[in-house]
Amino acid sequence: MRYLIFIGLTAAAGLAQAADLNAAVDLAKASGCYSCHANAEKVVGPAFSAIADKYKDEKDAAASLAQSIQNGSKGKWGRIPMPAHPSLSAADLKTLSAWVLTVKP
Ligand code: HEC
């Protein structure tokens, strides 16, 4: 019985996480991120999966990516800069930066 409850809880947590990821993708689409980025290949900006890979061992990656998204970024990936996104809320920045770090090619 305890085992079944455990499976139930794990499944629910997995579903909640999947829902969060879908919400993050929708937010990225609605925020125009996909006009310059794709998951697996470079467009104007680097692939989201390449960003996830580059920062996978950095403890504060999510916070620093949130800064990059909010204030813009230049010189980390090439010569093309990313413009600032001043209208994103703190919560949205947190969602987007945490999600980018999960993108697989
Ligand atoms: C106008 C094109 C453009 C748009 C729109 C854009 N990006 Fe970028 N993004 C870039 C470019 C170019 C870079 C590389 C900047 C550099 O070399 O530092 C980049 C870099 C990044 C990075 C890596 C920053 C770092 O510190 O290494 C993240 C994360 C990112 N973008 C997320 C997003 C998200 C999320 C959105 C939507 C809110 C978005 N981008 C919208 C062009 C864009």
Q: Which range marks the domain in which residue 68 is found?
A: 2-100
How many domains does the structure of the chain reveal? Answer: 1
The b-or-e profile of 5-44 (16+ CB within 10 A means b, else e) is eeeeeeeeeeeeeeeeeeebbebbeebebeeebbbeeeee
CA of 47 to the centre of ligand 1 (A): 9
For a pLDDT cut of 70, what percent of the chain falls above it?
86
Ligand 1 lined by 43 (C-beta under 6 Å) = no
pTM: 0.89
Query: Taking residues 76-101, what's their average pLDDT?
Result: 97
Ligand 1 lined by 95 (C-beta under 6 Å) = no
Q: Does residue 72 form part of some domain?
A: yes
Q: Does residue 105 form part of some domain?
A: no
pLDDT digits (tens, 9 = 90+) for 35-49: 999 999 999 999 999
Is 36 labeled as ligand-binding? no
Residue among 82, 88, 102 to mutate when testing ligand 1 (max atoms within 8 A of CB) = 82
Q: What is the 3-state secondary structure (H, E, C) of the chain?
A: CHHHHHHHHHHHHHHHHHHHHHHHHHHHHHCCHHHCCCCCCCCCCCCHHHHHHHCCCCCCHHHHHHHHHHHCECCCCCCCCECCCCCCCHHHHHHHHHHHCCCCC
What is the model's pLDDT at position 56?
Answer: 96
- Ligand 1 atom with the smallest distance to the CA of 35 is 5
Is 85 labeled as ligand-binding? no
CATH number of residue 62's parent domain: 1.10.760.10
